[in-house]
Amino acid sequence: MSRLAKKPIVVGKADVSVSGDTLTVKGPKATLTKQVHPSILITVDTDSVLVSSKDRSRLAKALTGTYASHVRNMIQGVQTPYIKKLILEGVGFRVEIKGTQLVLTVGFSHLVMLDIPEDVATKVEKNIITLESSNKESVGQFAANIRRVKPPEPYLGKGIHYEGEVIRRKQGKKAV
C-alpha cells in the first residue's frame, strides 16, 4: 500500500461524501464527482478522509495511492482552481476562441480547431493561452492536447510550450 494513502487527508473547507461507488467533493468554488473502483474503500471522518483497499490484490494496493492523490487534488481544486498557461511562439502563429472552440494557426496549411471542455475556462491574450478549472485532470489533459498540436522545436524554439518550461536548444549548422 502507498505511504501517502496511509496518511489521513485533511478536508479543510471542502465537504466530502461517498455514496455507493461515487465520491463527491463540494467546496466554495465547485463540485467534483468521481467514480471509485470497487476494490477501493474511502472512509470520511469529520475533518479527514482515509483511502484503503478492500482486498489484498496487487491492483487494489496500486490504486490506493492513486485514489488518495485524486482525493487530494479534488479537495485542493474545489478551494483554489488549477491554472495552466501555454505560450505560442513563432512568426505568424496565432490563437483565438470562436464559440466553444480554440482555433490555432501554427504554420499548417489548415486551421487546427480544438473543442474546449465545459469545465475549463479559457482566456487568450496575445499569444498566451490561460486555462483554469477545479478539475486538475481536465486542465492538464486539455493543455497537453494543445501542446501536442505543435510542440516546441529545439533549433529556434518555435511552437507551443508551457510557461516556465525549459526547452533544450540545439546548435545549428556551423560554417567551416
Residue positions counted in the chain: 176
- The pLDDT assigned to 1 comes to 64
3-state DSSP assignment of residue 9: strand
Per-residue pLDDT of the chain (176 residues), as tens digits, is: 678 788 899 998 899 999 989 999 999 989 999 999 999 999 999 899 999 999 889 999 899 999 999 999 999 999 999 999 999 999 999 999 999 999 999 999 999 999 999 999 999 999 999 999 999 999 999 999 999 999 999 999 899 999 999 999 998 888 77
Cell matching residue 114: 480544438
pLDDT at 10: 92
* 45-80: burial string, b at 16+ Cβ within 10 Å, e else: eeeebbbebeeeeeebeebbbebbbbbbbbbbbbbe
In Å, how far are 70, 127, 132, 151, 176 from 85, measured between CA atoms?
A: 22, 10, 9, 14, 41
Q: How is residue 152 written as a grid cell?
A: 516546441
Domains of the chain: 3-79 (3.90.930.12), 82-162 (3.90.930.12)
Return the C-alpha cell found at 129. 493561452
